[in-house]
């Protein structure tokens, strides 16, 4: 039995490893339980806009991919920082030879030179074997600043991945908002279409009775048949719009399209958004808040670090090394035959076949690319903010017009119905009034939810939900 004493550092490391493993396992279990709870909150339930946003942020695959990319970038930073730590390896070498020079070196390394005949048989030593177990340590002392610049670039890579996640989050919330409003718009359009179908069917029955009595022409019945078909078609389109919005919402939530859930209508009273800031003020906010702007600047800085790293290849490199081992004819370890080698090696590339020059040129071209990418990103965001700003302006103006048109159309239809019952107007006039009222209601519904979608698009454009 051999008795081993564990070093205190090793014991601490093992304890830390066990605690970390237990913590990771607990976090994984907690994450799975939270995800299951979140799914139960959605499946078979009627979800509000806030619930949909929360669930999408927790379950959308694009956002989860972005999280994994952050973890990958963190791992890359660990790889870059490893260059600052000693590199320790172990190996065992076995060799046999009858080469006089190698055999002589084996004899000396094995501390066996005093053996009689070591010199006498040096020209014809015969075969000799050598076992060498050893531990080798190496530490980079200087690499022209390449390790430093690469570690800084790797740290910036984590920020880049976080900016990407923020960008996806911003776009995801806006998409959930737009899909939610599209669903509500389709839902109300379906109700308008249903009311139109009921009203036309009632009028059609009365007109058919009048035609049977000979008081109206058949053309009026046919006109109402056409109007009924149009209203039924609008009802079908609205129903399809509802299902399309639900499929879109399921995709954003990271759920299969056949998953059973419903969307809860907005409970609060509609409040029209206000446009209180100028375009220039909104654009300044976008430049300060949008993660894409920060990501573009981040990529430019990474490219600049890579240039500095490439230039470091022209400088000398210095490494310290140490090797501890033994040389023996048998695998048995003997401290009397151990040896240590330590030193510092300095090297410098004089000619690399233009490889260093081309690596530097590639890095410099990437800086130029990153500069143009940053400029393009700002131009794209400026255009997005401008379009969202104009869209909201248009939506607010349209909202005011459609609200007034609904009031006028309702009053016109009421008067035409009274005139129709008094039989002083034709069915054609009634149909025109009915179409005008339905069109006004549809336009009003679309305007209400379009202005909310436009507000969400503007918030996304300035990076509100980063």
Contacts of 227 (CB under 8 A, 6+ apart): 200, 431, 434, 435
**What pLDDT score does 120 carry?**
67
Within 8 A by CB and 6+ apart from 194, the residues are 235
**Within 10 Å of residue 236's Cβ, how many Cβ atoms?**
11
90: exposed, middle or buried (C-beta count within 10 Å: 0-12, 13-18, 19+)?
Answer: exposed
Q: Radius of gyration over alpha carbons of the chain, in Å? A: 39
The residue assigned the tokens 């009026």 is 220
Helix H or strand E segment including 262: strand 262-263
d(CA 209, CA 221): 10
At 18 the pLDDT is 44
pLDDT tens digits, residue range 265-276? Answer: 766 567 788 888
Name the stretches of the chain with pLDDT < 50.
Answer: 1-22, 24-26, 28-32, 34-38
> Could you give the percent of the chain with pLDDT greater than 70?
88
The dihedrals phi and psi of 322, each to the nearest 5 degrees, come to -145, 140
Specify the pLDDT at position 84: 93
Residue 440 near residue 408, CB atoms below 8 Å: yes
Model pLDDT, residue 267? 61
Task: Judge contact between 146 and 313, C-beta under 8 A.
Answer: yes
Q: Could you write out the DSSP letters of every residue in 239-277? A: HHHHHHHHHHHHHHHT--TT---EEPPP-SPP------S
Half-sphere exposure of 432 (CA within 13 A, CB side): 9
53-57: long-range contacts (C-beta < 8 A, 24 or more apart)?
53/173, 53/176, 53/177, 55/253, 56/172, 56/173, 56/176, 56/252, 56/253, 56/254, 57/169, 57/172, 57/173
Q: What is the pLDDT of residue 21?
A: 43
**Size of the chain, expressed as the number of residues it contains:** 466
**pTM score, two decimals?**
0.77
Chain center to CA of 140: 36
Q: Domain 36-85+144-308+353-461 belongs to what topology?
A: Outer membrane efflux proteins (OEP) (1.20.1600)
* Short-list 78, 77, 76, 33, CA closest to 58: 33
What does the CA dihedral 25, 27, 33, 39 come to, rounded to 10 degrees?
-130
Write down the domain spans for the chain.
36-85+144-308+353-461
pLDDT of residue 6: 41
Grouping H, G, I as helix, E, B as strand and the rest as coil, residue 271 is: coil
321, 365, 419, 428, 441 from 415: Cα distances, Å = 100, 74, 6, 14, 17
Q: d(Cα 174, Cα 395) in Å, to the nearest integer?
A: 17
> Across the strands, what pairs with 130?
95
User: Kind and range of the H or E element at 318?
Assistant: strand 317-326
Alpha-carbon distance of 120 to 244, in angstroms, equals 96
């Amino acid at each position: 039995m051999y008795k081993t004493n564990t070093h205190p550092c090793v014991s601490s490391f093992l304890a830390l490893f066990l605690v970390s493993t237990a913590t990771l396992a607990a976090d994984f279990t907690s994450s799975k339980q939270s995800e299951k709870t979140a799914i139960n909150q959605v499946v078979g339930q009627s979800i509000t806009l806030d619930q949909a946003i929360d669930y999408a942020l927790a379950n959308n695959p694009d956002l989860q991919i972005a999280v994994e990319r952050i973890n990958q970038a963190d791992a890359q930073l660990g790889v870059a920082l490893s260059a600052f730590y000693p590199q320790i390896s172990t190996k065992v070498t076995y060799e046999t030879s009858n080469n006089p020079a190698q055999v002589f070196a084996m004899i000396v390394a094995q501390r066996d030179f005093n053996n009689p005949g070591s010199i006498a048989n040096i020209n014809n030593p015969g075969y000799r074997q050598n076992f060498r177990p050893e531990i080798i340590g190496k530490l980079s002392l200087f690499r022209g600043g390449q390790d430093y610049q690469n570690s800084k670039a790797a740290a910036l890579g984590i920020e880049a991945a976080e900016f990407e996640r923020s960008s996806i989050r911003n776009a995801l919330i806006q998409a959930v908002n737009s899909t939610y409003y599209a669903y509500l718009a389709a839902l109300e359009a379906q109700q308008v279409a249903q009311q139109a179908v009921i009203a036309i069917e009632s009028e059609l029955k009365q007109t058919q009775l009048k035609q049977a009595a000979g008081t109206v022409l058949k053309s009026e019945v046919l006109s109402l048949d056409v109007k009924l078909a149009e209203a039924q078609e609008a009802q079908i389109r609205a129903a399809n719009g509802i299902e399309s919005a639900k499929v879109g919402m399921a995709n954003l939530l990271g759920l299969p399209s056949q998953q059973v859930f419903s969307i809860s209508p907005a409970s609060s009273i509609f409040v029209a958004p206000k446009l209180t800031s100028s375009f220039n003020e909104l654009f300044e906010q976008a430049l300060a808040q949008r993660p894409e702007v920060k990501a573009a600047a981040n990529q430019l800085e990474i490219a600049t670090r890579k240039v500095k790293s490439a230039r470091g290849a022209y400088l000398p490199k210095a490494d310290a090394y140490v090797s501890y081992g033994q040389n023996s004819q048998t695998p048995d370890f003997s401290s009397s035959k151990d040896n240590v080698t330590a030193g510092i090696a300095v090297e410098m590339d004089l000619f690399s076949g233009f490889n260093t020059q081309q690596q530097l040129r590639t890095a410099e071209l990437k800086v130029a690319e990153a500069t143009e990418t940053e400029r393009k990103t700002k131009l794209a965001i400026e255009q997005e903010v401008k379009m969202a700003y104009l869209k909201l302006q248009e939506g607010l103006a349209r909202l005011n017009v459609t609200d007034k048109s609904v009031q006028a159309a309702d009053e016109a239809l009421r008067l035409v119905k009274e005139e129709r019952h008094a039989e002083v107007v034709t069915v054609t006039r009634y149909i025109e009034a009915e179409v005008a009222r339905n069109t006004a209601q549809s336009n009003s519904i679309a305007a209400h939810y379009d202005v909310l979608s436009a507000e969400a698009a503007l918030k996304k454009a300035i990076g509100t939900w980063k």
